[in-house]
Amino acid sequence: MFSSNKLIRSFSYAIEGMTHALTTQRNMRIHFVVALLAMILSLVLDLSKLEIVLVFFSIIAVVAAELFNTAIEAVVDLTTSDYHPLAKIAKDVAAAAVLLTAVHAVIVGFFVFFDKLFPPKLRDLNDTGEMAIYVAFIPLGMLVLLLISWRAYTRFKKQG
């Protein structure tokens, strides 16, 4: 049976996980800042639907990889406090996944943004036409990033 309380609680746990990663992982904070900048560029530059999807996919891939990396590091730290070569491998491989997705995102960003920035090809926000509905998702994504960042910031301030 469908329970809205369980659903809300599961979303709350997911946001708590994101908040934890954002407050404890410096690289996650860097990813969020870069994601916000990419979203701002996506809003003001004249990007196609496909280019917007590629930018969002790259953002999600990097953030997800960083979340998996954080989870793997936590599990490894939970199971052993001593140096173990297998623990090192687990942490190194998880970090490599983040590096790989971040490099992918930089490559996508280069192909998507370079021609739009040099020379600048700005979006006419007064005449988005059929792109209006797609462009509307960009501020929504920015809002989600900012809300999670604000929650992490207030949590971090309470801890410190």
Which active-site residues does the annotation give? 66
Question: Known binder of ligand: residue 83?
Answer: no
Question: Known binder of ligand: residue 92?
Answer: yes
Question: Known binder of ligand: residue 82?
Answer: no
Question: Known binder of ligand: residue 134?
Answer: no
Question: Known binder of ligand: residue 51?
Answer: no
Q: Which long-range contacts (CB under 8 A, 24 or more apart) does 117-125 make?
A: 117/41, 117/45, 120/45, 121/45, 121/46, 122/44, 122/45, 122/46, 123/43, 123/44, 123/45, 123/46, 123/47, 124/46
Q: What residues are designated binding site for substrate? A: 66
Q: What residues are designated binding site for a divalent metal cation? A: 73
Q: What residues are designated binding site for ATP? A: 13, 73, 91-92
